[in-house]
Amino acid sequence: MEFEIIEAKTKDEYRDAQEPVFFVWRGKEYRVEQVLDRWYEGRVDSTRMPMMYFRVKTALGDIFILRYHEFFRRWSIRI
């Protein structure tokens, strides 16, 4: 899987890893209409970086997978 860094706003801006509500990818703004699924990686295995994944549906009906890297505190999108 390849990911590209994006900017994202979350429900609770105090903690970046909350559910995304809005993101910007390649200069275009997307509003998250619904989180379809979410899962976690690396929390049990100390040799892997902790990451959160969100499968989202935008207001226009597009479906994307967004990832939050907890160590680097960065959002990215699966391309």
Residues 6+ away with beta carbon under 8 Å from 64: 25, 30, 55, 56, 58, 77, 78
Give yes or no for a contact between 60 and 51, defined as CB atoms under 8 angstroms apart.
no
Per-residue pLDDT at 35: 96
Q: Name the residue type at position 55.
A: R
Per residue in 11-37, pLDDT (tens digit) is: 876 665 689 999 999 999 999 999 999
Per residue in 64-73, pLDDT (tens digit) is: 999 999 889 9
Return the higher-pLDDT residue of 14 and 58.
58
Per-residue pLDDT at 12: 74
Instruction: Give 46-77 as a DSSP string.
Output: TTS--EEEEEEEETTS-EEEEEEETTTTEEEE
Work out the average pLDDT over 33-61. 89
pLDDT at 43 over 80: no
